């Protein structure tokens, strides 16, 4: 069987992208898109000479246009491909959300059509030269993951970041994500635990939300021999920033979340 010519196209297009990262989660709603947006904003903000791109391949539930504040933007075709939307001078985004007629439009596609879209995204977006391309994926291990990993085979994947919440059910799914990465030979950069504790916006005190599973993500990471990258607390102000597409890092520069993000960015 001939290899898919898309693999060579993707390799060529991404030859000017240094690190290609996948953000994965076993379940929906654990904060994968939030963490993707925060890490990309943090990587870009910490070094103006660094170029960061975000590719939202959550075909059925694209959230990056909203959380990165680019709802309603349009992407343009040029001679050199699709131009992404610029969030900052050194932070760009491509998402299927930009190609839909309205934010409420449902994408009801079977595997082959999703596969074609991902191939186009990976081979036709003109990112210019990037230090990081961060792929926001749907929850689980589905068509989108298989398509992305097979098209990225030639270009190479730097590694995956796995996002989870503390409860055991989410952690069980993380084990599957780790197993997936190992089966398809994707290095695992580490696990990020989200919504570990709640910081009251009024009194600033911290409370455990899931006391029964406290420390579970760290323990599991140790047990499975993967890096534990850090814990991000639940903060209603973060949820609000994401809903409104605002930059949490500049809105709340003194938040402990920003320190956690800076630490994570040093390790990826």
Binders in 164-223 for ligand ADP, by CB under 6 A: 194-195
CA angle centred on 218, ends 196 and 153, rounded to 5°: 105
Output 161 or 234, the one with its CB closest to ligand ADP. 234
| Shortest Å distance, C-beta 2 to ligand ADP | 36
Q: Is 64 in the site for ligand ADP (CB under 6 A)?
A: no
Candidate list 91, 157, 189, 238; residue touching ligand ADP; CB under 6 A: 238
Candidate list 173, 177, 193, 235; residue touching ligand ADP; CB under 6 A: 235
Distance of CA 155 to the CA centre of its chain: 18
Q: How many residues bind ligand ADP (CB under 6 A)?
A: 17
Q: Is 63 in the site for ligand ADP (CB under 6 A)?
A: yes
Q: Which among 80, 60, 167 has a CA at the least distance from the CA of 127?
A: 80
Write the binding mask 4 to 43 for ligand ADP: x where contact by CB under 6 A, - elsewhere: ---------------------x--xxxxxxx---------
The DSSP code for 199 is E
Q: Tokens 């290095």 sit at which residue?
A: 187
Q: How many CB atoms lie within 10 A of CB 219?
A: 13
Stretch that binds ligand ADP, among 84-92, 117-125, 144-152, 228-236 (CB under 6 A): 228-236
Contact 69, 245 (CB under 8 A): yes
| Shortest Å distance, C-beta 246 to ligand ADP | 11
| Shortest Å distance, C-beta 258 to ligand ADP | 12
Q: CA dist 27 to 31, 100, 169, 172, Å?
A: 9, 24, 9, 10
Binding residues (CB under 6 A) for ligand ADP: these are 25, 28-34, 63, 194-195, 232, 234-235, 238-239, 242
């Amino acid at each position: 069987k001939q290899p898919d010519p898309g693999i060579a196209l993707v390799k060529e297009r991404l030859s000017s992208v240094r690190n290609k990262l996948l953000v994965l989660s076993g379940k929906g709603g654990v904060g994968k898109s939030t963490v993707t947006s925060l890490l990309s904003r943090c990587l870009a903000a910490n070094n103006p000479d660094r170029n960061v791109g975000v590719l939202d391949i959550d075909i059925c539930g694209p959230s990056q246009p909203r959380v990165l504040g680019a709802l309603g933007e349009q992407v343009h075709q040029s001679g050199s491909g699709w131009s992404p939307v610029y969030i900052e001078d050194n932070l760009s985004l491509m998402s299927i959300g930009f190609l839909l007629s309205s934010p409420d439009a449902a994408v009801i596609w079977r595997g082959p059509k999703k596969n074609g879209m991902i191939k186009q995204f990976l081979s036709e977006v003109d990112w210019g030269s990037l230090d990081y391309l961060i792929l926001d994926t749907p929850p689980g291990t589905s068509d989108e993951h298989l398509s992305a990993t097979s098209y990225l085979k030639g270009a190479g994947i730097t590694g995956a970041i796995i996002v989870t919440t503390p409860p055991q059910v989410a952690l069980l799914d993380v084990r599957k994500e780790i197993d997936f990465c190992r089966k398809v030979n994707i290095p695992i950069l580490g696990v990020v635990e989200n919504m570990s504790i709640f910081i009251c916006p009024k009194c600033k005190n911290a409370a455990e939300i899931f006391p029964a599973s406290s420390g579970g993500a760290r323990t599991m990471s140790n047990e499975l021999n993967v890096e534990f990258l850090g814990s991000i607390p639940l903060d209603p102000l973060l949820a609000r920033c994401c809903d409104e597409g605002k930059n949490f890092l500049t809105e709340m520069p003194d938040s402990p979340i920003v320190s956690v993000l800076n630490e994570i960015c040093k390790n990826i």
